[in-house]
Amino acid sequence: MTASAHRQQTADRIAAALGHSFEGEIRVGGHYASAVRDGQTVYISGQVPRVGTTVMVTGRAGDTVSLEQAREGAQICALRALAILRRELGSLDAVRQVLRVGVFVQCSADFTQHSEVADAASDLLHEVFGDAGVHVRTAVGVYALPKNATVEVEMTVAVD
């Protein structure tokens, strides 16, 4: 099996385990792009845990949303980003390195497990890309996110 096939099968398997598919359904809701390529770098806009038209995880982590629910939301966000990347590049085999991941968590004032939420996205990327999925990361707590999403993930990727 090629690295590309392995990457795509891994991403598809994780999505299926979560009960989701992202085939051809990622759209933006405004005057911005879901991804922009500049040379060998692709910037992916922030993704909320939306499947189709439904945001799957909403509310505040540490209040109405458990750590595990927030982590699942981060995985959905990362899978959406990979679907956008695959659409942009044709496949995941052109990915040389995931460079940076930003994770925003809508949370209560006393919530301190931002890194644990972000780990779910980071672990998924490592599972799909191996060492090429290891990246720098920022994980922050915020008061609100679009559509009341619990988590939003943005990504920067180096490609061939």
Contact in structure between 68 and 103 (CB atoms under 8 Å): no
pLDDT, tens only, 21-41? 666 567 777 889 999 999 999
Return the higher-pLDDT residue of 97 and 12. 97
Tell me how crowded residue 10 is: count the other CB atoms within 10 A of its CB.
17
Q: Say whether pLDDT at 15 is over 70.
A: no
Q: Say whether pLDDT at 110 is over 90.
A: yes
Domains in the chain and their CATH numbers? 3-159 (3.30.1330.40)
Euclidean distance between CA atoms 29 and 8, whole angstroms? 26
Mean pLDDT of the chain: 91
pLDDT, tens only, 75-85? 999 999 999 99
Q: Say whether pLDDT at 58 is over 80.
A: yes
Euclidean distance between CA atoms 143 and 150, whole angstroms? 10
- In the prediction, which pLDDT does 64 show? 98
Mean pLDDT on 133-141: 98
Q: Say whether pLDDT at 44 is over 80.
A: yes
Q: How far is CA 107 from CA 67, 79, 135, in A?
A: 10, 22, 24
Mean pLDDT on 52-73: 97
Of the pLDDT bands very low, low, confident and very high (cuts 50, 70, 90), residue 136 is very high
Q: Say whether pLDDT at 1 is over 60.
A: no
Return the higher-pLDDT residue of 74 and 11. 74
- In the prediction, which pLDDT does 5 show? 67
Contact in structure between 44 and 156 (CB atoms under 8 Å): yes
What phi and psi values does residue 22 have, to the nearest 5 degrees?
A: -120, 25
Euclidean distance between CA atoms 81 and 64, whole angstroms? 25
* Structure token digits, residue 143: 């008061």
